[in-house]
Amino acid sequence: MIRFEQVTKKYLTKTALEGIDLELPQGEIIGVIGENGSGKSTLLKLIAGLVRPSKGRVLVDEEPSHRRIARKVAYLSELETYYPFFTVQQTVDFYETQFADFNRERAREMMDFMQLDPQAKVKNLSKGNRGRVKLVVTLARDAPYILMDEPLSGLDPIVRNSIIKGLISFVDLEKQTVVITTHEINEVEALLDRVVAIRNGKIVKVVELDELRLNEGVSLVEWMTSIYSDNANQSKEA
């Protein structure tokens, strides 16, 4: 379980998140959505222990997240963080040396599934294939929490589809929880169990997708459009 208790995160003078109270249960795929600059990446970095709260606590399985980053959390960064001169296989080998929970067999299966050439140099890969490599080294870990910051951003529909299929095929929700930030709402909707909507550093709403589908009969995009316009109206009235 991931828990935020009254979390505020400031970068110098900029407040990225404010007064966040949130519980994310295990065994789900959770989407974090919101406009540019709303605080999605900061939320993920706080869970990963890459940044610390200015106020409040972020607990991963009841422990402050910064103490457990390497063991508990596999984090897919928005940035490209591998060595361009390595081959795909050397990249996988490097990650294996860094993480005790790295599953070499799963990495091999994923490379096959994604049709990645293990001998290709990372610097020569297309952007889409570099996105696939990021997915391989993240999902090859048996970490209980998988955090993915914009894994679909800037990729074409075919690559996005293969990354989504990779997620479905290689994540074990009996043992793993996935938190994913994205703007590609239509494409991930079918994957998600729960959505956290953020605006200007605050949580607007959290919803279970089953509830949305069954009780409200609206798509995620329709829901999102309605809550963001309600919220904008409330802000104007305030």
Ligand X SMILES: Nc1ncnc2c1ncn2[C@@H]1O[C@H](COP(=O)(O)OP(=O)(O)OP(=O)(O)O)[C@@H](O)[C@H]1O
Nearer to ligand X, 43 or 146 (CB): 43
- 173: which residues sit within 8 A by CB, 6+ positions away? 27, 28, 29
Least Å from the CB of residue 51 to ligand X: 8
Binding flags for ligand X, 14-43, as an x/- string (CB under 6 A): x-x-----------------x-xxxxxxx-
64 binds ligand X (CB under 6 A): no
- CB count in 10 Å sphere of residue 70: 13
Smallest gap from Cβ 166 to ligand X, in A, equals 22
If one asks whether residue 129 binds ligand X (CB under 6 A), the answer comes out as: no
CB of 35 to ligand X, least distance (A): 7
| C-alpha to C-alpha distance for 59 and 209, rounded to whole angstroms | 24
154 binds ligand X (CB under 6 A): no
User: Which listed range, 8-16, 105-113, 139-147, 168-176, lies at the site for ligand X (CB under 6 A)?
Assistant: 8-16
- In degrees, to the nearest 5, what angle opens at C-alpha 217 toward C-alphas 215 and 219? 125
Taking the least distance from each CB to ligand X, the nearer of 87 and 181 is 181
For the chain, the helix, strand and coil percentages under 3-state DSSP, each to the nearest 5:
40, 25, 30
Q: How far is CA 62 from CA 56, 138, 146, in A?
A: 14, 23, 17
- Please choose, from the candidates 202, 220, 203, the residue with its C-alpha nearest in 3D space to the C-alpha of residue 211: 220
The reply to whether 131 sits near ligand X by the rule CB under 6 A is: no
User: Under the rule (CB under 6 A), what is the footprint of ligand X?
Assistant: 11, 14, 16, 34, 36-42
